[in-house]
Structure 1
Amino acid sequence: MRSKDRISYFYDGDAGNVYFGPNHPMKPHRLCMTHHLVLSYDLHKKMEIYRPHKAYPVELAQFHSADYVEFLQRINPDTQHLFPEEMAKFKLGEDCPVFDDMFEFCQIYAGGTIDAARRLNNQLCDIAINWAGGLHHAKKCEASGFCYINDLVLGILELLKYHARVLYIDIDVHHGDGVEEAFYFTDRVMTVSFHKYGNLFFPGSGDVKEIGEREGKFYAINIPLKDGIDDTSFTRLFKTIISKVVETYQPGVIVLQCGADSLAGDRLGCFNLSIDGHAECVRFVKKFGLPLLVTGGGGYTKENVARCWTVETGVLLDTELPNEIPDNEYIKYFAPECSLRIPTGHIENFNSKSYLGTIKMQVLENLRCIQHAPSVQMQEVPPDFYIPDFDEDEKNPDERIDQHTQDKHIQRDDEYYEGDNDNDHNMDDA
């Protein structure tokens, strides 16, 4: 084990200020709540905090189709009625509404995951956290399940430049279908998703029989669960399967999606996990001592999402947090008890021992079909997309520099740097 993990944490308050619309379950405001809770526990003093760069369209098009990226960039709430065909083609609408600053929101959360991957690649940290990321449903040419850009796929593509094998683990209550689909035909990424599975439960995929195809056969692992799974059965199954996966696949880096909609009491979820149960999975993955990229994901009871991701930030920092939440800007959301832990749920557990035993046996059987960890002839590493440095002499005086470009040269006063951390936000130069 490393003596002390170096942790990079990515945050931009602008991502938490967007609004999906009335009655929409996705509340990016949970990101501000999480961040302020992290600050109130003084966790920022133990990490390097970075504001991510806004991912460029050319970076997003490393996975997504150029016409889809271009449409996301162009569309806004006032013009969407003019493009009914494109709206339908790209699956924008009720679940994935067009809202103000939507494309900038995508650029920020995707930029955070890309930057996190680059810092890991360059060995500038051991663990990188982007709670704004983890939007695992987005497809190459369409939005899905509140996700527009699949930051996880973009981060994994970045990690593949330096690592022969990437392990992706997903503990969101919904199947990580967008990530699985992106890497379904390759053995260079193993995807492991623990999720609720049922015909009527979104996205409807993730059967244990879905195992990958061609070179990717046996490299997609699905653990379909029923309503009401509790801490004991979930963590036992998780540890058994993940231990075997790491031993068999021998990944060089792990990406962990920590969707908090698998917690008890989630507005859209149906599991009985406590925050401690959810965080136990994070603790277990950290123990492998491999480079680790951690993201958020789903989570629709926002005060519990903030509690969960704060506890998990503490876990990644080896810091036990007192149960009483310190005063902070959002303390009223945690009233009246103002405690960090939440009770487990009371949904009946439909996951019998025999059902879980059968799933476990099928997964372990599939893992036995992998002879050994695939080896890859690594090519010369393709360059990162460098954000252009502006030369004063070459600047067109008639061209307005956007505010974000100017901001890149200024340290914002809402950022928290301790000691002599590198204040340059341009991760690409790292």
Structure 2
Amino acid sequence: MRRVAYVHSDALVSAADCLPANEGRASLVHSLVSSLQVLGTDEDLQSDREHLACCRVVEPRPATRDELCRFHDPRYIDAVLGTHSETMSDSDDDEDDDNSSASSDSSPRTFGLAGSSDEPPRKRKKVDSLGLQDDCPVFPELAEYVKLVGGASMTAARELRDGEADVAINWTGGRHHARRGEAAGFCYVQDAVLAIMELRSAPQRRKPASPEPSQGPCVASPSPSSPSLPPLPPRISRVLYLDLDLHHGDGVESAFFTTPYVLTLSVHLHAPLFYPSTGALDSSGPSNPKAQGAAHALNVALEPGCAEETLRRVFASCVERLEEAYDPDAVVLQLGVDGLAGDPCKEWNLNLASLGYAVEHVLQWNRRTLLLGGGGYDSPNAARAWAYLTSVAHGRALPLDTPVPPDLPSAQYELFAPSFTLDVPEGYMRDANTEETLRRVEKTFEVYEEKLRTRWKRVAD
């Protein structure tokens, strides 16, 4: 029976709802998950023990400053936590003063988010250098957002690392563009990197505790009176980070660019001027073929219009073969849904069935698996997708024609018009991924696969 940890708290949803790019999305996702009862109940467990996974709702622990600084630059973390004014050095101010007259003539476009319009330009420049402007504006709840979203993915990773779960879910995470010292692409905290670092740390023994009634139907840990505790799971060494977002997972790739112990594999649109303009097919890691991380930063770079047939094909010919060659101990799957048909990005034409196919196949690998959210700018479709994928992870995939429950609050229910069903079907966009372009991708990945097999066979020998 698969053990699923669903990371959730009211505080996490409240903070995630404030993300300017996705206001209200987190609560819509969790409302639909709850209303569809995809997490299961005690009665479900008793009636269907053979097919239903065991699911617990796990409350996230907010990340501390020190935990965030395991990856992020302390100066950046102090800024997003609200203490940046105290950490400005005199040398920083002097440097900014040298450029203040030029800044006064042409102030950076900050939408007033780095301070009031009469604030000295050097102060605006200081915040702008951290990426906190334009697509990543400062907002009042930013500190809580960063601590809770980062902490939620780390909490999920600990559940897997310590053997408490086989699959863990944090739909508020997957913020794959954030950099060590800079916000980017609507992403303020690099929760995926923090989670991978947590996964690869040493497993820890948990104190036995009885589950709360609200935690779902999972079996409790052994009681203190048990004669012995189960052994800790093996330490996770190799992690496959698989990114299915429309956009290249550049922040995660750059974080692990030089290590062979995290293989980043991003399936995304690669087109001229399309953000973040990285992740070309021939970009595979350090240029020196003898470098440790060579051929461990891989990219399935696709054309506009990608639909179910294309995703299934590259999943079988590229993704699954790379997973087999790399043989990871754990998988982190970023499931941004901005490639779904109907998303405002209007670049891909995926349906919900294609994402379900991908998740089902990843779960069949039987690795410890972390599911994260990501992009997705049609909030009702994001809610549909992540509610459905939760049901897939739970071992009982909902039919795609499942009605949206009318017991949702009316303001939320109306957002699912006109179909009021779970499905997100393909549209009529032409798929520009031709036989020629797909064969080029597949031939390139045949080379990458051989490099991985040779590398890890040598290590095993």
For the criterion TM > 0.5, the same-fold answer is: yes
Counterpart in the other structure of 1:38: 33
Counterpart in the other structure of 1:69: 77
Counterpart in the other structure of 2:22: 27
Q: How does 1:215-234 map to 2 (within 5 A)?
A: 215-234=292-311
Out of 278, 301, 313, the residue aligned to residue 236 of structure 1 is 313
> Is the CA contact (8 Å cut-off) linking 2:177 and 2:190 kept in structure 1?
yes
Tell me, what secondary structure is at the counterpart of 1:47?
strand
Q: How does 1:127-142 map to 2 (within 5 A)?
A: 127-142=167-182
Q: Is residue 8 of structure 2 the alignment partner of residue 11 of structure 1?
A: yes
Counterpart in the other structure of 2:61: 53
Deviation larger for 178-187 or 262-271:
262-271
Tell me, what secondary structure is at the counterpart of 1:67?
helix
> Is the CA contact (8 Å cut-off) linking 1:188 and 1:374 kept in structure 2?
no
CA offset digits 1:24-49 (Å, max 9, x no partner)? 5x214211111111111112335201
Give the C-alpha shift of residue 102 in structure 1.
Answer: 0.7
Counterpart in the other structure of 1:193: 266
Aligned AA (1:307): R
CA offset digits 1:341-367 (Å, max 9, x no partner)? 022022221110110111111012122
Tell me: CA distance 1:28–1:364, structure 2 relative to 1, closer, same or farther (3 Å).
farther
Q: Is residue 427 of structure 2 the alignment partner of residue 345 of structure 1?
A: yes
Give the C-alpha shift of residue 244 in structure 1.
Answer: 1.1
Out of 269, 272, 284, the residue aligned to residue 349 of structure 2 is 272
Q: Is residue 87 of structure 2 the alignment partner of residue 92 of structure 1?
A: no
CA offset digits 1:240-298 (Å, max 9, x no partner)? 21221121111000000000101111112411100111221111101111100000000
CA distance in 1, matches of 2:157, 2:237: 14
Q: Is residue 217 of structure 2 the alignment partner of residue 177 of structure 1?
A: no
Counterpart in the other structure of 2:449: 367
Give the C-alpha shift of residue 326 in structure 1.
Answer: 1.6
CA offset digits 1:40-65 (Å, max 9, x no partner)? 11123352012211111110100001
Counterpart in the other structure of 2:285: 212
Give the C-alpha shift of residue 164 in structure 1.
Answer: 1.3
Aligned AA (2:10): G
Q: Is residue 340 of structure 2 the alignment partner of residue 332 of structure 1?
A: no
> Is the CA contact (8 Å cut-off) linking 2:39 and 2:390 kept in structure 1?
no
Give the C-alpha shift of residue 80 in structure 1.
Answer: 3.4
Give the C-alpha shift of residue 173 in structure 1.
Answer: 0.0
> Is the CA contact (8 Å cut-off) linking 1:20 and 1:99 kept in structure 2?
no
Tell me: CA distance 1:56–1:169, structure 2 relative to 1, closer, same or farther (3 Å).
same
CA distance in 1, matches of 2:14, 2:80: 18
Tell me, what secondary structure is at the counterpart of 2:443?
helix
Deviation larger for 305-314 or 364-373:
364-373
Counterpart in the other structure of 2:159: 119
Counterpart in the other structure of 2:228: none
> Is the CA contact (8 Å cut-off) linking 2:158 and 2:198 kept in structure 1?
yes
Asked which structure has the greater CA Rg, the reply is 2
Unaligned runs of 5+ in 1: 378-430
Deviation larger for 308-317 or 368-377:
368-377
CA distance in 2, matches of 1:336, 1:250: 44
Tell me: CA distance 1:79–1:247, structure 2 relative to 1, closer, same or farther (3 Å).
closer
Tell me: CA distance 1:222–1:19, structure 2 relative to 1, closer, same or farther (3 Å).
closer
CA distance in 2, matches of 1:375, 1:70: 44
Q: TM-score with structure 1 length normalisation? A: 0.83
> Is the CA contact (8 Å cut-off) linking 2:114 and 2:124 kept in structure 1?
no
Give the C-alpha shift of residue 299 in structure 1.
Answer: 0.2
CA distance in 2, matches of 1:376, 1:267: 45
Give the C-alpha shift of residue 17 in structure 1.
Answer: 3.5
CA distance in 1, matches of 2:16, 2:364: 37
CA offset digits 1:76-96 (Å, max 9, x no partner)? 988635531222210111100
Out of 356, 378, 386, the residue aligned to residue 309 of structure 1 is 386
Q: Is residue 193 of structure 2 the alignment partner of residue 153 of structure 1?
A: yes
Aligned AA (1:95): D
Q: How does 1:373-392 map to 2 (within 5 A)?
A: 373=456
Give the C-alpha shift of residue 334 in structure 1.
Answer: 1.0
CA distance in 2, matches of 1:171, 1:177: 12
Counterpart in the other structure of 1:285: 362
CA offset digits 1:188-239 (Å, max 9, x no partner)? 0000000011121100000011111121100111011111011011112112
CA distance in 2, matches of 1:347, 1:117: 37
Tell me, what secondary structure is at the counterpart of 2:456?
coil
Q: TM-score with structure 2 length normalisation? A: 0.77
Unaligned runs of 5+ in 2: 41-53, 85-111, 202-234
Count of aligned pairs: 372
> Is the CA contact (8 Å cut-off) linking 1:272 and 1:345 kept in structure 2?
yes
Aligned AA (1:282): V
Aligned AA (2:34): L
CA distance in 1, matches of 2:458, 2:370: 22
CA distance in 2, matches of 1:375, 1:254: 22
Tell me, what secondary structure is at the counterpart of 2:292?
helix
Tell me: CA distance 1:152–1:135, structure 2 relative to 1, closer, same or farther (3 Å).
same
CA distance in 2, matches of 1:172, 1:28: 19
> Is the CA contact (8 Å cut-off) linking 2:403 and 2:421 kept in structure 1?
yes
Counterpart in the other structure of 2:216: none
Out of 317, 330, 334, the residue aligned to residue 253 of structure 1 is 330
Aligned AA (1:88): D
